[in-house]
Structure formats: C-alpha cells, structure tokens
C-alpha cells in the first residue's frame, strides 16, 4: 500500500500561521474567517488547513488549544479562548463603556447619569495602572453629538419614581400634559433620538401606550388601601422590540401601510442607502435611473415629518393619503416664504 504523501510545509505558510497567531490577540471579539482570508490572500481551503494544523500543534501544557472558531451572528470567527484572553482586552471594554456614556450624555444631571458614572468609576479602578494612563483622554477620542437632545436635569422628581417602578414592578399614576391622568404598569424606559419614553399597559383598558417623560407633570407610585405599594406581574412575553416592530420611530399603529418614496437626487440616495431606516426598507432602480424606496410601516406620523425634512429631494408616491398630507404641508411652508 502506497503511503499517502502530505504537502510539505513552506516558509510562506509558516509565516502566515505565525501572523495569525501574532495578530489574533488584537481582535478580542473575534477575527472573521473571511477577513483573515482577504488579509493573507489565501483560499478558504488553505485557511482550514492552517486551522487544522494549529488545532493539533498550538496547545498549552494542559492540552488546551491556542485559538477556537466560534459563530457570531451566523459568521465564523477565530478568537482566543476565554482562558487565554490577554489583559489588554479590557481596553476595548473601557472604550465600549466610555462611548456608551458619550451617547447617553443627554442624561446628564439625572439619577440615571449618577448610576452610569459610578459604574465607570468602579470599572476604571479595576484596570491596571498602565491601562488607566492610556485611557486618560477617552472622552476626547470617542465623542458623540446627540441630535436635538432633550434636557432632563430638572426632572429628577419624575425619573426617580419611574426607575423605582420599573425595577420593583410597581403601578404608577401619571399626570400627563394632555390633561389625562394615566394609571399604568410600566414595562420599558426607552431612549430614542435623545429622548426618554415609557412603554406600559393601562389596567383599565389593557392597552399598551407610549408616554414622553418630559410631558409628565407628576408621577406617583400607586398605594393600596392598606398602605402597600401596588405590584404587578411583568409579562414574560413582552419584548419592546416586538412592540415597536414595523413602526417608523416609536409611535405604533395597528395597521401596516405600504409606502413608496421616489428619491430625486444622487446625494440623498447615497445618504439613505448607507442607513438602516426601517427593517423592511428596499431600494430599487426605475427605468429613468431614479431610486425608489419602499417600506411597510405601522404608523406614518413620524414618517411624514421625516420626509418633510428632505424638502424637494423625496416625493411620496404611495399611499395617496400620505402624499396629500406632505404636499399640503409643503405648499403651506412655501407660502410662509413668499415675499
């Protein structure tokens, strides 16, 4: 029987494997296999051969492999096992937390900001001294500008009972700016475009509603006749992402509306193509070369205002009711500028 010949290892192959091992610690969240193939200029088959060889030969004294292949979001990645992750990976955690703080800057001066700042201080103290020195300018290296953020610094008396009710599952009574007093079971405190909103169910009609925090005039924990706070059972099946699914923004309607929007210039098309405007968005090209954006949305109030912000560059084709609304508002806006 002829002995099967194995391909002889080459210096380029050894160098590529060494490069994978050397660079892997700089990818603490995993290095996608397709990215490795592009970086090294090798085929999928070649990479699999490298990984198989490394699995057998690159092990520690306990026999544990130097790396592992995981699947993240359906995408295979190479990463260090938890037992081998370098201390330096905490720097990435610090960046993630710092950037999150920057995004939540609109909570400045509230009870929520105080909790986040305490979390950062605790985390920073756990870092090695050399890493604390490197992270000294994080607030300048990672910065976020909120779009028209709301100011909650004077609403501590509103946020405190809201947070307590959400944590302890207490019922609330909310005096709202519309003049309606709502009794609700709060499910979610939602941050959206620099603002805070509460999603909850009204026990009276069992309807889920969304209320803006800055429009709450008074918030109280409901108390029973015996003096105890009213509790409710948080529904195991409730998911905020499901409740808002299909909505354009956070104001949800039951009916789904098919929307067609014509894009009139290339700059606007490029701007929109680069963004996830809605989960159902689809761009198609018409015969005249212009792009058509289609969506299936639950609620068009926020969509209407969004379209108006693009002026002449977006045109509603469907539905007719939304087209008429936008056209009427644009005509009214045009009259405001007549001299």
Q: Which CATH number belongs to the domain containing residue 279 in this structure?
A: 3.30.70
Q: Which of 37, 59, 84 is the last residue of a domain?
A: 84
Total domains in the chain come to 4
Please give the pLDDT value at position 87.
45
The residues, ordered by sequence, that sit 6+ positions from 335 with a Cβ below 8 Å of its Cβ are none
- Domain check: are 163 and 230 in the same one? yes
Q: Which CATH number belongs to the domain containing residue 232 in this structure?
A: 2.30.30
| Beta-bridge mates of residue 283 | 293
- Domain check: are 61 and 130 in the same one? no
Q: Which of 238, 272, 289 is the last residue of a domain?
A: 238
The residues, ordered by sequence, that sit 6+ positions from 147 with a Cβ below 8 Å of its Cβ are 193, 194
Q: 3-state DSSP call for residue 139? A: helix
Please give the pLDDT value at position 2.
52
- Domain check: are 110 and 181 in the same one? no
Core vs surface per residue 215-224: b (16+ CB within 10 A) or e? ebeebeebee
Q: How far apart are CA 310 and CA 169, in angstroms?
A: 42
Residue 314 located in a structural domain = yes
- Domain check: are 80 and 95 in the same one? no
Tell me phi and psi for residue 322, to 5 degrees.
Answer: -70, -40
Residue 214 located in a structural domain = yes
- Domain check: are 25 and 64 in the same one? yes
Residue 220 located in a structural domain = yes
Q: How far apart are CA 307 and CA 262, in angstroms?
A: 11
CB atoms within 10 A of CB 124: 15
User: pLDDT tens per residue, the chain (339 residues)?
Assistant: 455 454 544 567 777 888 888 788 777 778 899 989 988 889 998 888 888 887 777 776 767 777 888 888 778 998 887 655 554 446 667 777 777 777 777 676 676 766 666 777 777 777 767 667 777 777 777 777 777 788 888 888 998 899 999 989 999 999 999 999 999 999 999 888 888 899 999 988 888 999 999 999 999 999 998 889 999 999 999 888 887 777 787 777 778 899 999 999 999 999 999 988 898 999 999 999 999 999 999 888 889 999 999 999 999 999 999 999 999 999 999 999 887
- Domain check: are 125 and 167 in the same one? no
Residue 326 located in a structural domain = yes
Contact (Cβ atoms closer than 8 angstroms) between residue 83 and residue 64:
yes
Flag whether the pTM goes above 0.75.
no
> Which residue range forms the structural domain that includes residue 208?
156-238
DSSP category for residue 234 = P
- Domain check: are 170 and 230 in the same one? yes
Please give the pLDDT value at position 94.
75
- Domain check: are 29 and 79 in the same one? yes
- Domain check: are 94 and 60 in the same one? no
- Domain check: are 113 and 63 in the same one? no
Length of the chain: 339
Q: Which of 238, 267, 293 is the last residue of a domain?
A: 238
Residue 216 located in a structural domain = yes
Do β-strands 195-202 and 207-212 pair in parallel, antiparallel, or remain unpaired? antiparallel
The residues, ordered by sequence, that sit 6+ positions from 176 with a Cβ below 8 Å of its Cβ are 182, 211, 215, 216, 217
Please give the pLDDT value at position 130.
64
- Domain check: are 199 and 261 in the same one? no
User: Tokens representing 279?
Assistant: 């989960």
Contact (Cβ atoms closer than 8 angstroms) between residue 329 and residue 308:
yes
- Domain check: are 65 and 20 in the same one? yes
Contact (Cβ atoms closer than 8 angstroms) between residue 47 and residue 77:
no
Residue 61 located in a structural domain = yes
Please give the pLDDT value at position 295.
94
Residue 268 located in a structural domain = yes
Residue 306 located in a structural domain = yes
């Amino acid at each position: 029987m002829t002995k099967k010949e194995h391909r002889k290892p080459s210096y380029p192959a050894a160098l590529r494997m060494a490069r994978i091992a050397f660079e892997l610690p700089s990818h603490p969240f995993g290095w996608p296999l397709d990215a490795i193939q592009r970086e090294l200029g090798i085929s999928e088959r070649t990479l699999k051969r490298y990984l198989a060889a490394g699995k057998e030969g690159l092990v520690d004294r306990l026999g544990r492999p130097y790396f592992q292949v995981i699947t993240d979001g359906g995408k295979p990645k190479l990463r260090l096992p938890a037992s081998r992750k370098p201390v330096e990976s905490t720097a990435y955690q610090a960046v993630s937390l710092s950037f999150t703080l920057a995004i939540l800057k609109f909570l400045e001066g509230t009870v929520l900001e105080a909790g986040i700042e305490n979390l950062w201080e605790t985390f920073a103290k756990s870092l090695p001294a050399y890493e604390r020195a490197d992270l000294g300018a994080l607030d300048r290296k990672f910065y976020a500008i909120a779009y028209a953020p709301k100011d909650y610094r004077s609403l501590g008396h509103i946020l405190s009972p809201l947070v307590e009710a959400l944590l302890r599952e207490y019922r609330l009574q909310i005096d709202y700016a519309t003049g309606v007093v709502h009794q609700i079971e709060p499910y979610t405190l939602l941050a959206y475009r620099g603002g805070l909103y509460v999603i909850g169910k009204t026990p009276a009609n069992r309807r889920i509603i969304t209320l803006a925090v800055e429009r709450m005039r008074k918030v109280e924990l409901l108390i029973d006749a015996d003096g105890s706070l009213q509790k409710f059972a948080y529904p195991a099946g409730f998911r905020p992402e499901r409740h808002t699914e299909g909505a354009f923004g956070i104001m949800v309607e039951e009916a789904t509306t098919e929307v067609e929007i014509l894009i009139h210039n290339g700059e606007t098309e490029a701007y929109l193509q680069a963004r996830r405007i809605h989960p159902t968005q689809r761009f198609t090209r018409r015969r005249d070369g212009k792009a058509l954006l289609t969506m299936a949305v639950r609620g068009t109030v926020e969509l209407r205002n969004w379209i108006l912000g693009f002026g002449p560059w977006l045109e509603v084709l469907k539905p007719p009711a939304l087209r008429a609304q936008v056209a009427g508002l644009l005509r009214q806006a045009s009259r405001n500028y007549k001299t």
